[in-house]
Structure 1
Amino acid sequence: MAAMYSDRALVIGAGFAGLLAARVLSESYGDVVLVERDRITPDTGYRAGTPQASHPHALLARGADALETLFPRLGAELEDAGAIRADLGSDFLIRAPSGWAPRDYLGLSVLSTTRVMLERTIRRRVLSLTNVSLVDGVTIDGLLHDRGTVTGVHGRHDDRPFTDYADLVVDTSGRDGKLVSWLAELGVHCPAPMIVNGHLSLTSRLYEVNRDLKLDWKTAFEVTRAPDVRRGGSVSTVDGNQWFVTLFGADGDAAPTDDDGFLDYATTLRCHDIAEIIKTATPVSKIYQAGNLRSRWNRFHQVPDWPRGLLALGDSVVSLNPVHGHGLTLAALYCLDLRTLLQEHDLAKEPLVFQRAVARTARTPWRSATTADLGWSTRKPSLSTRLLRWYTDRAFAALPGNRQVYRAFIRVSHLVDHPATLFRPAVLFRVLRGKALSGRHPRATEP
């Protein structure tokens, strides 16, 4: 159990990362306040601050385990509310560029739900904590500071000046946050961020499940892959009775946002179930699109004069291309790091200890996401990136017909195993030998 400092912590942003941070801080601080720009209640659904909620969100297997650690029985609560549990082997239909992936039972599952349901369920739990409070409708304009220490925030609340003080300020304001400029106002200058633009797009729509369609999967996924496979898509069953359909575009391609164009784009995919759903199911939302998706890393761990009293986590530090589905999982892992380090350090006085932990946790997902996206870039990658991409291309080619390669690939993709496991002799041999199969998609096997 973390030591109780009986001090005050302030979290900028009451989104997914902010809620998790508040949950952890509540164990170590007597008073935790969430400061949020949007107007929200425990039951708020879609809101302006999370436009990405109109697209599917992947919670990787390791992320689900992390959330269960922070919120015991969260998975069961989500299932009771309609989330769908799916085995990553038998319940997934995956089309790789070289063919269909095996569908053997893996014993590794994920929960399929919307961002709205997930965040709302967690928000209710966090706001029920007796030492956590919420101030909404606040626009933060900057940080308060005193001799190298952040002491609070200032901004506007209902068009009135707003000031709040805390012993620790945690920024979780997201990929559009202004922490870099706030720090510059204090005379603290950050290195230029690392940016990799994947030139990818997401175009999404929700549909009511059509019970007349007899499908033997819970999630279908067709993968884009540089340099030739520019189109892909996915369908996931969410919240009990809805399908979340998303069409991917790479290298500047994007699905149209009108009904006919959306369907026509889907018919170009090899996973014909996606087009069949669009054709026969009833839409329950408009079509949403997000484009020019990129990854960005603000290297706060390299700022030698990083102020005391300030931490940053979530997308305000590392925002990965959402196509790859790392965001929610990374936020959960950062908060497990936060919980561990609060037991060993006074992070208000040693904030770089935490920022360096964030960098370590983000390193592998960053490498994975950007290696894939650099395939669409005109920028020449490093030798190590070219070698890694060459090997992952071979692994993709070997997925059809290679159950052991697929199992290893999925466990690494979901951050359960280290990428080094892909180089174990049994996997390495099959990857280098490679054998791509095609034809009709495989049927699921039982455990």
Structure 2
Amino acid sequence: MTAMYSDRALVIGAGFAGLLAARVLSESYGDVVLVERDQIAVDAVTKANSGYRAGVPQAHHPHALLARGADVLETLFPRLGTELEDAGAVRADLGSDFLSRAPAGWAPRDHIGLSVLSMTRVTIERIIRRRVLKLPNVSLVDGVTIDGLLHDRGTVTGVQGRRDGEPFADYADLVVDASGRNSKLVSWLAEHGVHCPAPVIVNGHLAYTSRLYEVNHDLKLDWKTAYEITYAPTTKRGGAVSSVDGGLWFVTLFGAGGDVAPTDEDGFLSYATTLECQDIAEIIKTATPASKIYRVGNLRSRWNRFHKVPDWPRGLLALGDSVVSLNPVYGHGMTLAALNAATLQTLLQRHDLAKEPLTFQRAIARTAQIPWTSATTTDLGWGTKKLPPSTRLTQWYARHLFKVIPGNRQVYRSFIRVSQMVDHPAALFRPAVLWRVLLGRALSGWRRRARQR
């Protein structure tokens, strides 16, 4: 049984990570308050508002919830998957319903038995927000700009800022920063004499450009999601299209190593025609646009190493993108936030985290290690700096693994389970996979070499 430590917890940010934190904190605190910069109250319980918020510019682009993340959410919110499907989310098997192209060719299309739900960020956030705000001890205060922390002798006691042009302050026994990749927590701590190590930043030199389209039922496609990856150093262009929210397609074009998909109509289509997956260009040609074309560049990963701050104040936790924000191309963000929430729930059963905050920060640092390594090892391939031997070895193995994926169902199945964070990366080094990767073409069969683009 979860212990009730005190009366009040405050969460900065009512986005995905903040909502999950509030759901977990509601088990241990009598009063949980979500403090949000954007105006979102109307959208909390209805569909009347479109749900696109200035604080989440990434909402105009696809968001992946990996299979591991979906399992965690189902534990926190029973029957969430069913509710999302009722709202239009599309369930797809990661094998038979996916058309996937690695640099060396097309992946096998066998049924894997591992599925994911495809939806817009607006849909999943709206439904989770509605669930959280139905909890009797959770409330939302929106339209608040937080300017700093309230602090007393090594303990964070609340937040201060502005609301409707007036001073705002609120006090709590525990403050949780879930304000995302634009968090100002490092600066707020410095104002109170707490200095954090410089963050680790890996620039992926990637950009993506996205648009929603209405599904064209005249196109007879045998997949629900199609994607073609970029891969350093030669495959600079990629793309993806997925069925979302019932009657929409989300089309995204990737660019790496200096390539960027244009945001004008003709340029967007022209870029898509250079891909091997011609279904993407066909959709752009024939489907009706349902949004503008949006682009985000300079995609990078950043890790604020809060777990290494010895004088980290009591009464303060940080999670989600405030701590580790990964290049969104790889789709780890929401799943990592869900894992942070699961860690918070587990630790609250044994610790008063307001008094032992580093216990939590160190735990989520361990959780972040695998997705961080996965994302940054790939992105470092676009740079020019000499990399450590361990990173070069990992990149070498990954290149050979991708070469055998088109001809080997077992390797592809293992890769999918690892990429969905269901299995540990060690599964890719089991003998049955390792030998196929090392022997490569001898066990994979002949295939045409993918052209460089």
When normalised by structure 1's length, the TM-score is 0.97
Q: Aligned to 1:199, what secondary structure does the other structure show? A: strand
Instruction: Show the counterpart of 2:4.
Output: 4
CA displacement, residues 62-93 of structure 1 (integer Å, 9 cap, x when unaligned): 00001101100000000011100000000000
Query: Partners in 1 of 2:366 and 2:310 — Cα distance?
Result: 17
Contact (CA 8 Å) 1:35, 1:138: kept in 2 or not? yes
> Which range moves more in the overlay, 378-387 or 403-412?
378-387
The CA deviation at 1:378 is: 1.6
Matches within 5 A, 1:52-201: 52-201=58-207
Contact 1:100 1:438 in 2 (8 A): no
Q: Displacement, 1:147?
A: 0.5
Distance 2:173 2:160 in 1: 15
Partner of 2:32: 32
Do the aligned partners of residues 281 and 440 (structure 1) sit closer, same or farther apart at CA in structure 2, a change above 3 Å counting?
Answer: farther
Question: For 2:207 and 2:95, how far apart are their aligned partners in 1?
Answer: 26
Question: Corresponding residue for 2:269?
Answer: 263
**Alignment partner of 2:261: what SS?**
coil
Q: Which residue of 1 is the match for residue 217 of structure 2?
A: 211
* Letter in structure 1 aligned against 2:84: L
CA offset at residue 252 of structure 1? Answer: 1.6
> Deviation of residue 237 (structure 1)?
0.2
Distance 1:386 1:440, change over 3 A: closer
Root mean square deviation, CA, Å: 1.2
Which residue matches 1:434? 440
Please tell me the residue identity of whatever aligns with 1:77: E
Equivalent residue for 2:343, pick from 333, 337, 340? 337
User: 3-state DSSP class of the match of 1:308?
Assistant: coil
Tell me, in whole angstroms, the C-alpha distance in 1 between the residues paired with 2:390 and 2:448. 34
Paired with 2:380 and 2:399, the residues of 1 have a C-alpha distance of 13
Secondary structure of the 1:256 match is: coil
- 1:363-374 aligned at under 5 Å gives the runs 363-374=369-380
The code of the aligned residue for 1:11 comes to: V
Distance, in Å, in 1 between the alignment partners of 2:448 and 2:224 is 21
Query: In structure 2, how many angstroms separate the alpha carbons of the residues matched to 1:440 and 1:238?
Result: 33
Say which SS state the counterpart of residue 310 (structure 2) adopts.
coil
Distance in 1 of aligned mates of 2:383 and 2:304: 20
Check the 8 A contact 1:233/1:248 in 2, yes or no: yes
CA distance in 2: counterparts of 1:47 and 1:138, whole angstroms = 14
What is the total number of aligned residue pairs between the two structures? Answer: 441
CA shift, 1:439, in A, is: 6.5
> 2:429 maps to which residue?
423
Task: Give the match for residue 306 of structure 2.
Answer: 300
State the SS of the aligned residue for 1:163.
Answer: strand
Alignment check: 8 A CA contact 2:104 2:449 kept: no
- Cα distance in 2, alignment partners of residues 273 and 434 from structure 1: 29
What is residue 22 of structure 1 aligned with on the other side? 22
Tell me how far 1:345 sits from its aligned partner.
0.2
What is the TM-score normalised by the length of structure 2?
0.96
Q: Which residue of 2 aligns with 1:46?
A: 52
Look up the match of 1:408: 414
Structure 1 residues 408 and 113, CA, compared in 2 at 3 Å: closer, same or farther? same
Superimposed CA distance per residue, residues 246-292 of structure 1 (whole angstroms, 9 cap, x where no aligned partner): 00000121100000000000000000100000000000100000001
- Segments of 4+ moved more than 2 angstroms: 435-441
1:284 counterpart (271, 275, 290): 290
List alignment gaps of at least 5 residues for structure 1: 442-447
- AA aligned to 2:79 is R
Unaligned runs of 5+ in 2: none
Q: How does 1:366-385 map to 2 (within 5 A)?
A: 366-385=372-391
Match of 1:252 in 2: 258
Output the CA distance in 2 between the equivalents of 1:174 and 1:6. 26
In the alignment, the residues of structure 1 paired with residue 53 and residue 204 of structure 2 have an alpha-carbon distance, to the nearest angstrom, of 26
Alignment-derived partner of residue 362 in structure 1: 368
**1:445 corresponds to:** none
8 Å CA contact retained: 1:17, 1:331? yes
CA distances 1:415-445 after superposition (whole Å, capped 9, x unpaired) = 000001100000001111113654699xxxx
Shift of 1:5: 2.2
* Partner secondary structure for residue 407 of structure 2: coil
